[in-house]
């Protein structure tokens, strides 16, 4: 795996695919700079070697049209502030103007080109567009894990125009290593904690990781499909009736592979989906009509704690309850606490997937786990065992 550490960028111009698809308020102020900060080590490495940088990214979904509100010019000053380097901007992504701006860069300088998705060829993976992008640099670096599962011109196709001079950025290399630690090289016992609402959205992940894990903790709304499939009473809890057979098949496969599956035994049930509803603790398989399970109960959390603290490698994907409501956040917070404690004792912990990442940030766990993935869809596809085009293009 070639990374930026395999190159010296002195007098080289690096064309770096970053993921600066950042949120902005109505005045175009960036409200979360995490993605920019995540790309900083790669950019600074090139500059400190004595090279220059051309940054390319998408922002939003302009669908091949020029949408002024989605211009990357709006984020240019924020990128400058985060990097501590003045970032120049050019209002096109390919063509004479972009090539001239890139050619005029001196060592130590940074150029940000316009939103790639203003050109329809970006998402189509057009060869011509990719070739034009390739004229902007001497070395191609992909540091955008968030788009590594897309076969777009800037994430995949452009790499072929740099047969010897392409590599992973520091962030993307970290993402690959973190997933590899869970899926291939992790110290045992390996535990996967899968939450979220639906079995259907996690089925391919579960099937792919059963060969890799020793323990599988199931939480969130998925719980009730498993419980109902086993003959339990789930009241008004979310349940995919058409996936009950699948749930039983997963349990059977896990047993055959020697994987211990841990499903909640008690839950916090509410008489409506509301933060101010009446609540009670009930056995997970005895939820009355008119009540729905919205968080893991205390006995369940004790079992989960015991499993997590004995684990050496931990994957967390998906919340344990409806953490967005304070009344049902305890289960998710406690899982975070257990993972933090296990990590402190030397376990490797990877958190990924939109809602679990949101929970980790909301409750202040991002510095207490080993790694928080920056790519939702890309991480999920990695866990499903799929080859990501953006990664394959570098290693080809």
Work out how many domains the chain is built from and give that number: 2
User: Under a CB-based contact definition with an 8 Å cutoff, are residues 296 and 269 in contact?
Assistant: no
- Let me know if residue 388 belongs to a domain: no
- Let me know if residue 379 belongs to a domain: yes
Q: Is 180 marked as binding a ligand?
A: no
Structure tokens at 141: 């670096």
Same domain as 192, residue 109: no
User: Under a CB-based contact definition with an 8 Å cutoff, are residues 155 and 116 in contact?
Assistant: no
Please say whether the dihedral angle defined by the alpha carbons of residues 243, 246, 247 and 248, taken in this order, is positive or negative: positive
Same domain as 214, residue 166: no
Q: SS3 of 387, please?
A: coil
User: Under a CB-based contact definition with an 8 Å cutoff, are residues 111 and 89 in contact?
Assistant: yes
- Let me know if residue 237 belongs to a domain: yes
Same domain as 84, residue 222: no
Same domain as 112, residue 134: yes
* pLDDT value of residue 354: 64
pTM beyond cutoff 0.85: yes
Same domain as 218, residue 161: no
- Report the distance separating Cα 308 and Cα 237, nearest Å: 26
Same domain as 208, residue 106: no
Contacts of 262 (CB under 8 A, 6+ apart): 215, 216, 217, 218, 303, 304, 307
Q: Is 17 marked as binding a ligand?
A: no
Start-to-end Cα distance in the chain: 10
Q: Tens-of-pLDDT digits for all 396 residues of the chain?
A: 899 999 999 999 999 999 999 999 999 999 999 899 999 999 999 999 999 999 999 999 999 999 999 999 999 999 999 999 999 999 999 999 999 999 999 999 999 999 999 999 999 999 999 999 999 999 999 999 888 989 999 999 999 999 999 999 999 999 999 999 988 898 999 999 999 888 888 888 898 999 999 999 999 999 999 999 999 999 999 999 999 999 999 999 999 999 999 999 999 999 999 999 999 999 999 999 999 999 999 999 999 999 999 999 999 999 999 999 999 999 999 999 999 999 999 999 999 876 888 899 899 999 999 999 877 778 888 888 888 999 999 998
* pLDDT value of residue 263: 98
Same domain as 192, residue 153: no
Same domain as 209, residue 150: no
Point out the residues that are catalytic.
35, 198, 354, 377
- Let me know if residue 180 belongs to a domain: no
- Report the distance separating Cα 110 and Cα 85, nearest Å: 8
Same domain as 210, residue 324: yes
Same domain as 192, residue 138: no
- Report the distance separating Cα 361 and Cα 252, nearest Å: 35
Contacts of 388 (CB under 8 A, 6+ apart): 148, 149, 378, 381, 382
Q: Is 318 marked as binding a ligand?
A: no
Same domain as 243, residue 194: yes
CATH code where residue 313 lies: 3.40.50.1260
- Let me know if residue 391 belongs to a domain: no
Q: Is 58 marked as binding a ligand?
A: yes
Q: Is 143 marked as binding a ligand?
A: no
- Let me know if residue 395 belongs to a domain: no
Given 144, 173, 202, the domain boundary residue is 173
* pLDDT value of residue 387: 87
Given 173, 208, 227, the domain boundary residue is 173
Give the helix/strand (H/E) hosting 268. strand 266-270
Q: SS3 of 248, please?
A: helix
Structural domain containing residue 353: 186-383
- Report the distance separating Cα 361 and Cα 45, nearest Å: 27
- Let me know if residue 396 belongs to a domain: no
- Let me know if residue 203 belongs to a domain: yes
Same domain as 227, residue 90: no
Given 148, 173, 198, the domain boundary residue is 173
Count of alpha carbons within 13 Å of 299, Cβ hemisphere only? 9
- Report the distance separating Cα 352 and Cα 27, nearest Å: 30
Residue 75: alpha-carbon gap to chain centroid: 22
Q: Is 21 marked as binding a ligand?
A: yes
- Report the distance separating Cα 164 and Cα 155, nearest Å: 17
């Amino acid at each position: 795996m070639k990374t930026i550490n395999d190159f010296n960028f002195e007098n080289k111009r690096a064309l770096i695919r970053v993921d600066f698809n950042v949120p902005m308020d109505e005045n175009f102020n960036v409200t979360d700079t995490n993605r920019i900060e995540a790309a900083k080590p790669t950019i600074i490495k090139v500059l400190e070697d004595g090279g220059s940088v051309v940054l390319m990214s998408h922002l939003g979904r302009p669908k091949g049209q020029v949408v002024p509100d989605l211009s990357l010019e709006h984020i240019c000053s924020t990128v400058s502030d985060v990097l501590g380097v003045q970032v120049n901007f050019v209002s096109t992504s390919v063509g004479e103007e972009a090539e001239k701006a890139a050619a005029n860069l001196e060592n130590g300088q940074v150029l940000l080109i316009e939103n790639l998705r203003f050109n329809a060829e970006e998402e189509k993976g057009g060869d011509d567009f990719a070739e034009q992008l390739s004229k902007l640099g001497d070395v191609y670096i992909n540091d955008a894990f968030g788009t590594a599962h897309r076969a777009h011109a800037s994430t995949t196709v452009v790499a072929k125009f740099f047969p010897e001079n392409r590599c992973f950025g520091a962030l993307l290399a970290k993402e690959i290593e973190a997933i590899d630690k869970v899926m291939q090289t992790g110290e045992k016992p390996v535990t996967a904690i899968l939450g979220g609402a639906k079995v259907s959205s996690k089925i391919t992940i579960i099937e792919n990781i059963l060969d890799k894990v020793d323990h599988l903790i199931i939480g969130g709304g998925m719980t009730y499909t498993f419980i109902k499939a086993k003959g339990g009473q789930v009241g008004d809890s979310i349940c995919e009736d058409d996936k009950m057979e699948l749930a039983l098949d997963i349990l059977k496969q896990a047993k055959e592979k020697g994987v211990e599956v841990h499903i909640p035994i008690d839950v916090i049930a509410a008489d409506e989906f509301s933060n101010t509803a009446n609540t009670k603790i009930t056995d997970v398989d005895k939820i009355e009509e008119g009540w729905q399970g919205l968080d893991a109960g205390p006995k369940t959390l004790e079992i989960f704690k015991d499993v997590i603290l004995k684990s050496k490698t931990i994957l967390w994907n998906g919340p344990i309850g409806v953490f967005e409501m304070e009344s049902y956040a305890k289960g998710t917070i406690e899982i975070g606490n257990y993972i933090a404690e296990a990590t402190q004792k030397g376990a490797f912990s990877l958190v990924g997937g939109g809602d679990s990442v949101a929970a980790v940030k909301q409750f202040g766990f991002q510095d207490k786990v080993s790694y928080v993935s920056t790519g939702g869809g890309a991480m999920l596809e990695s866990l499903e065992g799929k080859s990501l085009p953006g990664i394959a293009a570098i290693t080809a």
